[in-house]
Structure 1
């Protein structure tokens, strides 16, 4: 693997890329711009600042270098060629897991099949790295005209078309947005929109509306959107959604070897990971980011941390204590701020939480310096210069990166680690209020990584605030729903229905035709879903997630409105909570299921509820409906009725005992 300690290797790489960039502009960009100029012979396009062939060529040189040479948190922010450490990732359709594509190059078949691709997954699964790899291959293989946009740059005052123009021609700010949009709408572009989840919540509605309008007007192009799971993504209904498959052990070990030049550190680490007692950290090996953090942590201390937040702490320690090998192992960079390791960590905790509250990872220099000033004021007793602290973040403790006039966290999950540490160590009497606010937030899925990290830092408080609230809601639901005496329906079937209906409102509708490829994107089904979704998002309050799943009954589909809190069930399943179980999907696809009901109207959704008169609750239908609901739910985890209520009792008893215990305030 090439270490890029100087610019020679980078210059060689750019020199090698220059011919393919020139060819791409000649083959695709030049004819398009010439045709566009002929279309508007009376308009002087040079004075309206429409990007030229030279602008595209400069854009591809600049962007190719930016994407092909990456700064890695794993190696103390030193540079590596992306191609050398990239591990091919596999995408699976969320509608049909049998549809899989391994991505080592531009996925031409996938794009031609679906046109618009939405890639959603949790923190650290490699979404942005995947987009970089695709962009580079489009250029290398001369496939089309790629444009990549980091969506965190957009806000209510900055549209997608403005950002595209700035990327293509950053010098001239005055341009004709309508003409540029018309150029893009002619097609031939491959537009990558990376990091939807990084758009500020305050700007989300305006940016989403702008993106939808842009995609509709430029629909002749291929689009990629990447994001962590977000309910707002439901508005991009004409995108086919894919998830990134977890790494298997073989892939994780190969990634470790790539980090280490196939060397001794990775060999020793892999040997340790194959020992029996390491089986409890297998979850970490499925996530590319956590694999990289594991390597860094092990390289620093020759020890394997067993909790996710310890990975981040050891990565922080490794960066803070990093040695300059060119000056001997004993030389450690002095810190501009003169802060010690724990004091620096203390400031970062407040900074991380401040950025987390803003839901931003990228800032102007004035913005980030203001946040550092606020953190300095919070951390009484620490004296340092804000500019020196920022310099440390960029140079000696490189947890931030500079991109032109922007300063950003090296990875969003780093910000989330420090935010979780702040809640745990610094929030004091506000701690319970913060956790309650996270639990009850309508966008809880945006905070799930912080909640995940906090679970490992302070499980007792997590249990007393978040699990207690979750199970209390579950108890209230099961006590107030499906309590009728359903005719000849077994009690276990009723309990099963309670379990699968918690946090979910479900509807069934009947269609008259079945399109195996894109059943919900056009025609009567698509129109029905659009109007029905809009209506019920208002009616259902917090139930904002809509999901349509393929039928098990012929031509009958399910729509599920799922509360955002269902993301907690997946988290608790990963933590192996004994009251979380998987929905029963066993052999469901091979079953012959019959629904004894005639729908009053086609394309008219009818609600599943606990009404004893509801025909879905008859003896003939009750169990089949329950199995159908389980098989079609997006979140495949549910709370076990008996174990969930038992665990809630255990929590309540523990809290009562703690309140009665006078150990801390008794005689001394």
Structure 2
């Protein structure tokens, strides 16, 4: 999409919306028409222009602090619906297939960039009014999601009055982008999940998209299809396309960089260069390091060095940008390690001025380092480009850089303190089920596995393996599949998915869901590769296996009562316990026999998953134990030599 073309699109889009407004008013003389015409022609036009400008220009690690037009560097993202590849080039085509979608992707996979593209594409295709909600801002706001959305619209003068907004919502004129669910603090995630579900049910005629990193529990929203960011591949030409798009003004460099990749080790390509962020880091440091490292953290080490000095010296011959606070690179990193550790485990990924100043002040006193905090922050934003400033909200240029510095801090801790941190990580896994959502830390653990290998195995990985192995060998059941099912779920619940159809007719849709055991989260880092398949299979069975549904339903439905919600006028299913509280209808194993439920499931499939998990545990326990012994023996042998 050409930049000059985008500038003219808003006017055309608003004209189309004004014409469409006539179709959903009672008559052309409806007094609301003049208000809608005023709103679309002025306030909505201003909103779209403002956010078109905001999202059409981005800062990248490759370009430092220079904003670039999105489509000068954007390589089209693709999604996976199971194994089916989904194009995202056209928002009309995409939302024609998916009314509600959750986009799941690892750090640096391009989720937020994809959202910006779909936002701009909505204007280009003149179909839906795009509203982008960056969920991280809800960490500081106690209002409901719906109030926050309407407040955002009012702040940007999107709705002149609530009646106009309500009409447009009812007619499905919006596409809502909820970006960065994983950036919400743990204490409010469950609340936001419920509010997203309520908002979608209330305004089901619109389109909805959520982005998140994996394992955040947002994947369980009943109306949403779960799609995953597709990795870049060399065979499909995607890696080549990405490289030449990023280096479109440096074709010779692009050719050399791609040649180093295409002729490099396949394992390295599969492990690293499938990810847009890591591929960008490789391109950033290519001239100094024209090789693909075999560990992820080396990418980050190289990019940190490049951002501190090498990048300026390459782009501006002989020039190294002055750091005004007086710290050298080592000093900057010393502060960033401590800050990243405190902020990461405090669930802070975006930092306001007060929080940043307070934490850096604390670190300065502890480390007895003197420097001007305001100049330090200015250097991070301007001289080094490690941080970005979004209307006073500070963050790392990419969240994975915060995780890198946090991992670096942990790897340098003394034995006892190192173990305390891993114990805390284990506690995070153990409690994530109780808080109803997960603190996603897989990228941090990948880095720790490389940077702190001995402690990672001794204090974290091997204890987790042994605990899961004990669970998988409890002989309470006849088959491995039954052990697996008993480990993973404790029963079922039934939710009402009450919503209005586009034509205004009401439909009540009741679906069964799993009651997953809280205990599974403690060892999820080990078993997720196996229980993901189990989860998908059981989820599918609860929608398609009529015999299983018919068997479970009576155990739940006879406890169900119905009441009318006065706020939204929706019929909701619930049960009434003796204490008078309200909760979703559910049944646990005990009264409902696990063995009877198991008889309706695929015994061969469940036993296969179980056997694969058992084999994996045995292999990993052996390798981890041998690694620990080898390190300890080697150190002893070396000391014995002196």
TM-score (norm 2): 0.77
Query: How big is each residue's C-alpha offset from its partner over 1:533-565, in whole Å with a ceiling of 9 and x where there is no partner?
Result: 4xx35xx3334xxxxxxxxxxxxxxxxxxx474
What is the Cα deviation at residue 428 of structure 1?
5.9
Unpaired runs of at least 5, structure 1 = 2-11, 487-493, 510-521, 544-562, 574-579, 585-594
Match of 2:68, SS state, is strand
Match of 2:155, SS state, is coil
Matched, 1:601 2:551: yes
Matched, 1:187 2:187: no
Work out which of the residue numbers 254, 262, 272 in structure 2 matches 1:274.
262
Query: How big is each residue's C-alpha offset from its partner over 1:411-443, in whole Å with a ceiling of 9 and x where there is no partner?
Result: 111111111111112576321111122133134
Query: How big is each residue's C-alpha offset from its partner over 1:500-534, in whole Å with a ceiling of 9 and x where there is no partner?
Result: 5595338799xxxxxxxxxxxx999x6241xx54x
Work out which of the residue numbers 17, 30, 36 in structure 1 matches 2:6.
17
Over 3 Å counting, the alpha-carbon distance change for 1:43 and 1:92 in structure 2 is closer
In structure 2, the residue matched to 1:456 is 450
What is the Cα deviation at residue 251 of structure 1?
0.7
Work out which of the residue numbers 335, 351, 355 in structure 1 matches 2:339.
351
Query: How big is each residue's C-alpha offset from its partner over 1:229-269, in whole Å with a ceiling of 9 and x where there is no partner?
Result: 23431452111111122111121122112122262222222
Work out which of the residue numbers 268, 272, 294 in structure 2 matches 1:306.
294
What is the Cα deviation at residue 372 of structure 1?
2.5
Work out which of the residue numbers 66, 76, 86 in structure 2 matches 1:101.
86
Matches within 5 A, 1:178-257: 180=165, 183-249=168-234, 250-257=237-244
In structure 1, the residue matched to 2:423 is 436
What is the Cα deviation at residue 399 of structure 1?
1.4
Contact 1:582–1:638 (CA<8 Å) still a contact in 2? no
Matches within 5 A, 1:114-153: 114-153=98-137
Distance 2:492 2:190 in 1: 29
What is the Cα deviation at residue 406 of structure 1?
2.0
What is the Cα deviation at residue 113 of structure 1?
2.9
What is the Cα deviation at residue 215 of structure 1?
2.1
Over 3 Å counting, the alpha-carbon distance change for 1:418 and 1:639 in structure 2 is farther
What is the Cα deviation at residue 357 of structure 1?
1.7
Match of 2:340, SS state, is helix
Distance 1:158 1:636 in 2: 46
Over 3 Å counting, the alpha-carbon distance change for 1:258 and 1:381 in structure 2 is same
How many residues are paired up? 575
In structure 1, the residue matched to 2:595 is 614
Work out which of the residue numbers 622, 625, 633 in structure 2 matches 1:646.
622
Which has the larger displacement, 324-333 or 174-183? Answer: 174-183
In structure 1, the residue matched to 2:469 is 475
Structure with more helix by fraction: 2
What is the Cα deviation at residue 625 of structure 1?
0.6
Match of 1:446, SS state, is coil
What is the Cα deviation at residue 142 of structure 1?
1.3
Which has the larger displacement, 356-365 or 28-37? Answer: 28-37
Matched, 1:341 2:329: yes
Distance 1:216 1:599 in 2: 24
In structure 2, the residue matched to 1:384 is 371
Over 3 Å counting, the alpha-carbon distance change for 1:640 and 1:304 in structure 2 is closer
Tell me the C-alpha RMSD between the 2 structures.
Answer: 4.3
In structure 2, the residue matched to 1:80 is 68
What is the Cα deviation at residue 198 of structure 1?
0.9
Matched, 1:154 2:154: no
In structure 2, the residue matched to 1:403 is 390
Over 3 Å counting, the alpha-carbon distance change for 1:368 and 1:648 in structure 2 is closer
Which has the larger displacement, 139-148 or 362-371? Answer: 362-371
Over 3 Å counting, the alpha-carbon distance change for 1:214 and 1:22 in structure 2 is same
Distance 1:293 1:424 in 2: 22
Match of 1:301, SS state, is coil
Match of 1:92, SS state, is strand
In structure 1, the residue matched to 2:603 is 625
Over 3 Å counting, the alpha-carbon distance change for 1:608 and 1:256 in structure 2 is farther
TM-score (norm 1): 0.74
Distance 1:327 1:290 in 2: 20
Distance 2:113 2:296 in 1: 21
In structure 1, the residue matched to 2:275 is 287
Over 3 Å counting, the alpha-carbon distance change for 1:414 and 1:191 in structure 2 is same
Matches within 5 A, 1:501-650: 504-505=488-489, 527-529=510-512, 533=514, 536=515, 540-543=517-520, 563=521, 565-569=523-527, 601=551, 603=553, 614=595, 625-628=603-606, 639-640=615-616, 642-647=618-623, 649-650=625-626
